[in-house]
Amino acid sequence: MNRIVNRQAKKDISADERLIVALDVPRAAEAKALVDQLGDSVSFYKLGLELSMSGDYFSLIDWLQERGKKIFADLKFFDVPETVARAVRQLTDRNIHFVSIHGDDAMLKAAVAVKKDLKILAVTVLTSLNRQDLADLGFQCEVEDLVLSRARRALQLGCDGVISSGLEAARLRDRLGEQFLVISPGIRPLENRREDDQKRVVTVEQAFADGADYIVVGRPIRDAVNPKGAADAIQAIIAHALL
Ligand code: C5P
């Protein structure tokens, strides 16, 4: 427990902001309905690929910011470095907090060079991939080793944090320290878990105990019978974990 208290003290992040809800819906109207329903229970939202195709990505960001919400632009940029830098520039000066980059050293470096106040998060290994998926992609290594190596390089290049499963968070903290941000998607209750595409999953409690600063939660809230109740339950677990 002490480890968590120490981490919390070092970073100025309020407990309620540590839950980032993924707005994985097709249109702005559905996103707004979910945000209205969640009300004060959620103050940080992730807008990903699906909403980027809606035609309302930036107007929705404005709408959320008018309501005091923080924004993670999860666009997982992967392109030649010049194009990545030019895309990141489109997101600066908009009071967006995080953007994700899914690339190699040169792409991360290009993003860091133009980031201004925007925090650059490097995707390590998607939480939907396991050891066999990596082998299929041609990586002959353990998932944890690849996560650690990609995280180390990202931090050396000036990224603000990494996205990894909670399964690797403890090792990242042990090897790379406490300063950088760890954002963990793939959050699932382990009991009564519905099978889906996420393979490296942890509970809310485990993610924070192992050193995550933020969790990203999509379907467990979006698809809940009572999304606000689900968000409140997660916020209560976070508050307790950080006591
Ligand atoms: O529905 P679920 O809780 O699995 O949502 C997870 C969200 O986090 C999705 O929007 C997905 O794009 C995102 N994400 C992820 N794994 C990463 C990075 C982002 O699942 N490594």
- pLDDT tens-digit readout, 4-24: 555 544 688 999 999 999 999
Kindly write down the DSSP assignment for every residue of 54-114, as one continuous string: SS-HHHHHHHHHHTT-EEEEEEEE-S-HHHHHHHHHTTTTTT--EEEE---HHHHHHHHHT
Residue 22 in contact with ligand 1 by CB distance below 6 A: yes
Rounded-to-integer distance, Cα 40 and Cα 4, Å: 25
Give yes or no: 76 in active site.
yes
Q: Which of 71, 120, 127, 181 to mutate to test the pocket of ligand 1 (most atoms within 8 A of CB)?
A: 127
Residue 211 in contact with ligand 1 by CB distance below 6 A: no
**Active-site hit among 32, 69, 70, 76:** 76
Q: Which domain holds residue 204?
A: 2-241
CATH number at residue 119: 3.20.20.70
How sure is the predictor about 2, in pLDDT bands with cuts at 50, 70 and 90?
very low
Condensed to tens digits (0 to 9), the pLDDT of residues 24-67 reads 999 999 999 999 999 999 999 999 999 999 999 999 999 999 99
Question: How many Å lie between the centroid of ligand 1 and the Cα of residue 216?
Answer: 7
Condensed to tens digits (0 to 9), the pLDDT of residues 66-97 reads 999 999 999 999 999 999 999 999 999 999 99
Name the average pLDDT for the chain: 93
Relative to the CA of 49, which ligand 1 atom is closest?
Answer: 12
Residues near 14 by beta carbon (within 8 Å), at least 6 away in sequence: none
Residue 43 in contact with ligand 1 by CB distance below 6 A: no
Number of domains composing the chain: 1
Q: Whose CA is nearest to atom 5 of ligand 1?
A: 218
Condensed to tens digits (0 to 9), the pLDDT of residues 122-136 reads 999 998 999 999 999
192 versus 121: the higher-pLDDT residue is 121
Residue 188 has pLDDT above 90, yes or no: no
* pTM confidence score: 0.94
Residue 124 in contact with ligand 1 by CB distance below 6 A: no
The per-residue pLDDT for 1 is 45
Condensed to tens digits (0 to 9), the pLDDT of residues 202-241 reads 999 999 999 999 999 999 999 999 999 999 999 999 999 8
> Can you tell me the mean pLDDT for 181-204?
84
